[in-house]
Amino acid sequence: MENPWKTLSTKEIYTNPWIQVTESQVVNPGGGNGIYGVVHFKNKAIGIVPVDEEGCTWLVGQYRYPLNEYSWEIPEGGGPLSEDPLESAKRELKEETGFTASQWTLISRIHTSNSVCNEEGFIYLAQQLTAGESQPEETEELILRRVHLKEAIEMVMQNQITDSLSIAGLLKASRILNIH
């Protein structure tokens, strides 16, 4: 489809190493003048659903500053725009859980909040896991929790997992693996 929005001008409002915020003067699809703010991410969102031979996965618990609450999630992080998302996924899985995997499947490409940002996410199913030492970043205080994929899905259904990458990844992995 053709873009019904017309951009008159755009200016940078804010930037840091992770995001840039722009504000555009626009003509909206109805013909009215307005503004549109967009958050441009400087990394890809990367999520991994590690699943072992017993049908268990690992969740990462951490306090999320923007939400002011604790969050259970799949292992995830940011990957440079210039890097293959799979390489970012391998690094994030190792950093947060210590695991490496010999089987990787891309299960989802996702836009996390497409009304206000351009963040693109990639979610992988990681199987044939080998344990190792985790290497969390200095800004991360993580707790790992091994649960059966069925329990993780129940956590999604009970709103105990609210992270968008985690919800999409866990639901798709359980469907792909036929674990209900």
| Model pLDDT for residues 69-119, shown as the tens digit of each residue | 999 999 999 999 999 999 999 999 999 999 999 999 999 999 999 999 999
- The tokens of 122 are what? 């990639």
Which CATH architecture group holds 43-176?
Alpha-Beta Complex (3.90)
Closest CA to 167 of 152, 146, 179: 152
User: 98: which 2 tokens?
Assistant: 């210590």
Distances (CA, A) of 128 to 13, 54, 55, 103, 123: 45, 11, 11, 6, 17
The pLDDT assigned to 139 comes to 65
Average pLDDT value for residue range 137-155:
88
Model pLDDT, residue 50:
98
pLDDT digits (tens, 9 = 90+) for 7-50: 999 999 999 999 999 999 999 999 999 999 999 999 999 999 99
Please report, for residues 36, 97, 150, the alpha-carbon distance to residue 24 in angstroms, rounded to integers and kept in the order given: 5, 41, 45
**CB 135 within 8 Å of CB 77:** no
What's the CA gap between 64 and 14, in Å, rounded?
22
140: confidence class by pLDDT, cuts 50, 70, 90: low
Tell me the pTM. 0.92
Structural domain boundaries in the chain: 6-41, 43-176
Phi, psi of 67 (to 5 degrees): -90, -20
- Cα gap 124→109, rounded to integer Å: 9
Per residue in 125-139, pLDDT (tens digit) is 999 999 988 776 666
